[in-house]
Amino acid sequence: MTALIFFLFASIAVFCGISLVTQTHPIASALSLIGVMGSLAILYLQLGGEFIAAAQVIVYAGAIMVLFVFVIMLLNAGAEGTSLQMSNFAKYVGIFLLAAFLGLISFVIQAMLPKTEGVVFGAFQGGTALNIGRKLFTIYLLPFEVTSVLILIAILGAMVLARREI
C-alpha cells in the first residue's frame, strides 16, 4: 500500500515536473507545479509530516502559486514560442547529461544509504502541529522571529516595487 502510494504520486510528481519544464505556456507550467506540490504533500503525509503537508498545500499551492497564476493572468503572458532557441544538439546532449547526472546521483544515494528499511506509514509520529509548535517557539524562536521580519521586509518591498514608477 505504501509502495503503491509512493509510486503513484512519485510518478505524478515526476510527470508534472517534466511537464513544468516542457510546456510552452506558463499557466500550464504553473498547474504542473501545483501538481508536483500536491503529490509531494501526499508523500509528506506518508512520511509523517501531517502539519507540513497541510502547510505545503496552504502556503505553496494556496498562496504562492495563486500569486503566480494571478500574475500570469494579469500580464496575460502568452506562450513562449515554439523554438527554445536551443540547437537540437544542445537539447539532446542536455537531456542525456541530465539523465546521466541523475543516474550518478541515484547511484551515490543508494551507495550512501545501502540498507535502509522501507518507509512505513505511521512510523514517525513527531510531525504533529503540537511538536512543530513546541520546537518552533522554543529552540527555533529566533529564526522564527527573523523570518517574520523577513516577511515584513518582503511585504514592504513588494509594496514599494508595485507602487512606485521605476
Residues 100-129 that bind other proteins (CB under 8 A): 101-102, 104-106, 108-113, 116-120, 123-124, 126-129
Give CA separation, 158 vs 9, 83, 127, 151, 154, in Å: 35, 33, 33, 10, 6
Place of cell 494571478: 70
Segment 36 to 55, residues that bind other proteins, using CB under 8 A: 36-37, 40, 43-44, 47-52, 54-55
Residue 55 exposure: Cα atoms within 13 Å on the Cβ side: 10
Q: How far is the CB of 126 from other proteins (least distance, A)?
A: 4
**Contact present, 77 and 26 (Cβ < 8 Å):** yes
Q: How far is the CB of 89 from other proteins (least distance, A)?
A: 14
**Binds other proteins by CB under 8 A, chosen from 8, 84, 93, 141:** 84
Q: How far is the CB of 74 from other proteins (least distance, A)?
A: 6
Residues 6+ apart with CB under 8 A from 61: 34, 37, 38, 41
Segment 134 to 163, residues that bind other proteins, using CB under 8 A: 135-136, 140, 143, 147, 150-151, 153-155, 157-158, 161-162
CA dihedral 43, 48, 52, 56 (to 10 degrees): 10
**Contact present, 61 and 38 (Cβ < 8 Å):** yes
**Which grid coordinates are listed for 126?**
513527531
CB atoms within 10 A of CB 31: 17
If the CB atoms of residues 31 and 88 are measured against other proteins, the closer one turns out to be 31
**Binds other proteins by CB under 8 A, chosen from 92, 93, 94, 141:** 94
Q: Is 63 in the site for other proteins (CB under 8 A)?
A: yes
What letter does residue 116 receive in the DSSP assignment?
P
If the CB atoms of residues 88 and 116 are measured against other proteins, the closer one turns out to be 116
Q: How far is the CB of 58 from other proteins (least distance, A)?
A: 5
Q: How far is the CB of 148 from other proteins (least distance, A)?
A: 8
